[in-house]
Amino acid sequence: MEWQEELMDFDEFLRLERGLTENSVRAYHTDIEKLVSYLSLDGRALIGPEELTCKDLQGFVRWLADIQIKPRTQARILSGIKSFYKNLIIKEKIDEDPTEQFQTPKIERKLPTVLSVEEIRSLEDSFDTGRVDGVRNRAIIETLYSCGLRVSELTELRLSQMNFEVGCVVIEGKGRKERIVPIGERARDYIREYVDGLRQTQKIEPGNEDYVFINRSGTKLSRIMIFNIIKEAASKVGITKVVSPHTLRHSFATHLVDGGANLRAVQEMLGHESIVTTEIYTHLDDSYLRSTMMEHHPYAKKEE
C-alpha cells in the first residue's frame, strides 16, 4: 500500500463524501504528508500506511513538539490522521486502526470573548443610518448576532435563502451542509430596511444580485471587510475587548445558553458537528457567573 495513492483516494473521499472545500482538502493532505516526512526522517520511509504503529504516532507527536508545533495544531493534525485511517477501515483496506489506541494531546480550551447585549446594541447604534453602508453595517451586526453565523456564511448569504414570512434562513455551512436558522424580528427589520431601501440605489454587478450584503463596487462583501467594519465600530464605541465577527457568534450562543436554551438546539443553530464543541458555552456560563459574583458580591470584594 502506497502513501501517495491512498492520499489521493483520501482527497476524493473528503471532496465527495464529506463535501469539504479545496482549502480544507489541501490542509488534510498536508497534515498526512507531515507524518510521511517524519517516517522518512526516522528511517521508516519504506513502511506503508498499513504498517504504522501507535509507537510511530508517539514519536511523530514528539517530533511535532520538537519543531515547535503548538499543541492545538498537533491535535488538528492528529485529527486528520485519524480521519485518514477511518477511511481505510471503511474501505476495508486495513483490519486494525493504529490511531484507535492513541490519545490525542490534551489542549487548554480558552473561553471565547463575549459581548453583552448592551455592547451589541452600542455597535448597531454607532452607524450613520442616513448612509447606505450605515444601514447595511447595522444589519450585518444584528444578523451575525441574531443567527449566530460564521463570517463566511454571512458573506455568502443570499436573498433566495431567506424566508421572512416564516422567519427563518437556510444556511450552507461547513462541508456544504445546510441548516435552518430562525431569524429574529429585529434582524428581519434591519435587513428589509437595507434591501428595500438604500440598497436599491446601488448599481449591482451581474452575478451579485442575490447576495444580501453588497459593497460600493456592487459585489458581495469580503471576510476582511466584515472584520474591519466590526473592529472600527468597537473602537468607536469604546469596547476594549478584542472583537471579531466570531465574537457575535459566541455571544449569540452564550446568551441562548444563559437564557436556558436546550444545548442540542444551540448545536443545530450553530451547525456544530459535535455537541462537545457546543458545550464550551456551558463552561463560559459558569465562568461568567463566578466573575460576576466576584465583581459584585460585597463579601467577595472584601476578600479581594
Identified catalytic residue from 136, 138, 188, 272: 272
236 given a catalytic annotation? no
255 given a catalytic annotation? no
Please tell me the distance from the alpha carbon of residue 146 to that of residue 264, in angstroms, as a whole number.
18
The strands making up 168-172's β-sheet, listed across from edge to edge, are 162-163, 168-172, 178-182
Residues whose CB is less than 8 angstroms from the CB of residue 163 and which lie 6 or more positions away in sequence, other chains included:
169, 170
What Cα–Cα distance (Å) separates residue 222 from each residue in 14, 138, 225? Answer: 26, 16, 5
Identified catalytic residue from 15, 18, 86, 174: 174
Identified catalytic residue from 138, 150, 250, 255: 150
- All three cell numbers of 293, joined, read 459574583
Please tell me the distance from the alpha carbon of residue 4 to that of residue 86, in angstroms, as a whole number.
17
Residues whose CB is less than 8 angstroms from the CB of residue 34 and which lie 6 or more positions away in sequence, other chains included:
64, 77
**Which stretches of 67-116 are DSSP H helices?**
71-90
Residues whose CB is less than 8 angstroms from the CB of residue 219 and which lie 6 or more positions away in sequence, other chains included:
205, 208, 211
Task: Return the residue matching grid coordinates 444545548.
Answer: 263
Q: How many CA atoms lie within 13 A of 11 on its CB side?
A: 16
150 given a catalytic annotation? yes
Are 56 and 98 contacting, i.e. CB atoms less than 8 angstroms apart? yes
199 given a catalytic annotation? no
- All three cell numbers of 72, joined, read 492545538
Are 286 and 109 contacting, i.e. CB atoms less than 8 angstroms apart? no
174 given a catalytic annotation? yes
- Exposed (0-12), middle (13-18) or buried (19+): which is 245, by Cβ within 10 Å? buried
Identified catalytic residue from 136, 188, 249, 255: 249
Please tell me the distance from the alpha carbon of residue 298 to that of residue 229, in angstroms, as a whole number.
39
15 given a catalytic annotation? no
Q: Which residues are catalytic?
A: 150, 174, 246, 249, 272, 281
